[in-house]
Structure formats: structure tokens, C-alpha cells
Amino acid sequence: MESLQQTPLCSRHRELKALMAPFGGWDMPIQYEGIIAEHAWCRSKAALFDICHMGEFIFQGDFEAAGLEDVFTFSIKTIPLGRSRYGFLLNEQGGIIDDLIVFRLAEDKVMIVTNAATADNDFAVIRARLSGGSFTNITAATGKLDIQGPLAREVLVDVLGEQVAAIPYFKFITMQVLGSDAIVSRTGYTGELGYEIFLPAEKTAELWDLLLRDERVKPAGLGARDVLRLEVGYSLYGSDIDETTTPLEAGLEGFVNFDKNFIGKEALLKQKGAGLTRKKVAFEVIGRRSPRHHYEIDFAGQAVGSVTSGVFSPMLGGGVGIGFVKPDYTTIGTSFTIRHERVSMEATVCELPFFKGGSLRS
């Protein structure tokens, strides 16, 4: 039987009668009241997510001399203080070991935030590529709560103070939260106005309880989070991207800086030169059925790709999904059929995001 790690909030989730399930090696809440209700609350008010399972590392030292500058697909040294940057850790073949965010804490210090299931491997890979500096895994000591939704700013201002209101998108501040050093970042994974709060693990439950005392806030699980992220077209590691997928195939070339060195660059340049054999595609289903991971994508009776993520979108009132197909079938408006055993549904290629009405940049 799988031995699962637990976040500092595991007992809180069970008190709230959450449906728990394994995710990335952790025992995590999938839903409380229900996925649709939690999704609606996040889109209209403020939802609170336990994201303590994510990985956090600290690097301190000379970014270039230690080799950190060459580790990711983006530049570390050009991240302004108080800002964060999204991108990839790649293997030699250009495959995505992980997608992650780096926070510039000081001139010589950054925090690297990774996915849960990949955290241990990420730490080992990055450490092996460094030739100096201090590199520490602070995951166990770090708690992380995400509050997302159009009322998230109002809630946090009431709880943490006016300084939160001035944080622009993809910026963060360091401040005292419940008497401890914390990072409050205006980032998230839902397409709504939101904040990620990093604080000592032992303070997480206290902040969770404090935020849930506000009637504008309700807890939300990973089920709602998955619907929210897919409605705005965000990729999920392990489903839409992995070590066999390159950023070029995944339509994420914008997060790759080819003007710098990084491991995997030669493979990506070679792939660009040769041309892609598959590309990410977004599609809407005609009707309310949900496409699922690994369903086949057919065109004129021939298999041309497969689905990597799909859900019923409450905001659109129908099924939406993303997958990978041969490049010839990615033109907007192209129609194809999603199949699995006796399941069949018609779909049309569309642009991302599916849902464009979020409060993300409010």
C-alpha cells in the first residue's frame, strides 16, 4: 500500500469531511462540498486551497559562477527583485523534467517552487548541475496556501493589511504573517485574481483557520482546481507535459529564452529545424460530455492524436480539452472526433483560454 505524505492540514480536511485521495505522493483533498460548487465559489468569491505539497528550494550564491543560470529555460540573473518567473527544467533531449517558478528574493538568492511529484527528482537534478553556492530543500519546513477568486484581495487586505493590495501580477512581497516571515505572491493556477502565501509549516493551520472564518472564503480541493486551470488552458505536469514532451510541442515556446544557454537547448533547436511531428491542440466538445485523458482523437476515421486533459466546463456549459495531434490538424475550426471504446463525441479546435472572463489581472 502506498505510503502517502501528509500536509499540516490533513486533520482539518478530515474534519471538513473532504474526499481524500493520493496526488503526487501526498494525501490530498479532492473536494469538500463538491467540485462544481467549489469551482463556482472560486469564480465568484474566494476559494482557499491547501498547496503544501509543492516543493520549495533555496539557492544562494553567484548564479553564473555556480551554474544556476544555465539550469532553466529562462534567465535567473535578469529576474528583478520581488518578481517571479515561470519556465522549465529540461533533460538533454529537451523533455520537460518539470515546470516551475523562481522567485528572486535577493541579489544572490532565489526560491524555486516545483510540482509535488517531481520535487525530489528536481532537487537531485538541479544539485547535480550546480558547481557552487548553497542549495537547500525547504519543502518540509514550508507551508503554502493559495487564496483565489475576485474577492481574494479584499479578504487578504482585511487579514494581512493594506500592503497586499499593492502587489502587481507575478510580483511578491516578504512580510510578517502571524508573527513569522512569509512571502505573499500574486500568482496562482485558476485564472482568477489570487495570491500564494508561503509561511512556516507550523503556522499553516492557524492561517487556514483564520481565513476560513471569513464568510467570503470556502475551502476548495484539487478537483475544482483542475477544472479551473483547464478552463484557462494551463498545462498539468504528468498529464499535458512530461519528460517526453518538449515546450515546443506543448505550445510553450514563449517561456524558453533561446538567447541564453540551458540544458536541452540543442535538442530544441534541432526539433525546430526538423519540424514538429505533434502539437498541442485545444478543443471544445459539441455537447456536455467530458473528454478524458488518453481518449483517441480521430480525423476522417484515422487516429491523429490523443487527449491529455479534459473536463466539463461549468463556465462554457460543455466539454473542453487539450491534447496532442499531428500539426496538420491544429487549425482553428478543424473538426474531429474523440473516441474511447463505445464513447464518441464531436469536437472543434479552438483558441485558448476557453474561459476569458476571469479576474486574474484585476
Structural domain includes residue 257: no
What percentage of the chain reaches a pLDDT higher than 70?
99
Residues 151, 26 share a domain: yes
In a shared domain, residues 318 and 180: no
The answer to whether 254 touches 84, Cβ cutoff 8 Å, is no
Is the same domain home to 348 and 221? no
Q: What is the CATH number of the domain that holds 100?
A: 3.30.70.1400
Q: At residue 2, does pLDDT exceed 70?
A: no
Residue 91 lies in a domain: yes
Q: 179 lies in a domain?
A: yes
Same domain, residue pair 43 and 153: yes
Asked if residue 73 and residue 13 are part of one domain, the reply reads no
Q: Do 82 and 187 belong together in one domain?
A: no
Classify residue 93: in a domain, yes or no.
yes
Report the CATH number at residue 213: 3.30.1360.120
Query: Is 28 inside any structural domain?
Result: yes
Percent of the chain with pLDDT over 90: 99
The pLDDT tens digits for 77-103 are 999 999 999 999 999 999 999 999 999
Residue 240 placed within a domain: no
Same domain, 282 and 338: yes
Please write the tens of the pLDDT for every residue from 334-344: 999 999 999 99
Both 145 and 40 in a single domain? yes
130: Cβ–Cβ under 8 A, 6 or more apart, which residues? Answer: 59, 66, 67, 68, 71
Distance from C-alpha of 10 to C-alpha of 21, rounded to nearest angstrom: 11
CB 169 within 8 A of CB 360: yes
Q: Which domain holds residue 336?
A: 277-362
Which of 117, 136, 155 is the C-terminal boundary of a domain?
136
Helix, strand or coil, per DSSP, at residue 71 = coil
From residue 293, alpha-carbon distances to 143, 320, 330 in Å are 30, 12, 18
| pLDDT bucket at 146, cuts 50 / 70 / 90 | very high
Buried b (16+ CB within 10 A) or exposed e, 51-89: bbbbbbbbbebebeebbbbbbbbbbbeebeebebbbbbb
Contact 171, 82 (CB under 8 A): yes
Number of structural domains in the chain: 3
Q: Does residue 255 lie within any of the structural domains?
A: no
Q: Are both 31 and 106 inside the same structural domain?
A: no
**Boundary of a domain, candidates 136, 166, 182:** 136
Average pLDDT of every residue of the chain: 97
CB under 8 Å to 62, separation ≥6 — which residues?
108, 132, 133
- Domain identity same for 146 and 226: yes
Pairing of strands 19-23, 46-50: unpaired
Check whether residue 45 and residue 66 sit in a common domain. no
CATH of residue 319's domain is 2.40.30.110
Closest CA to 245 of 229, 268, 262: 268
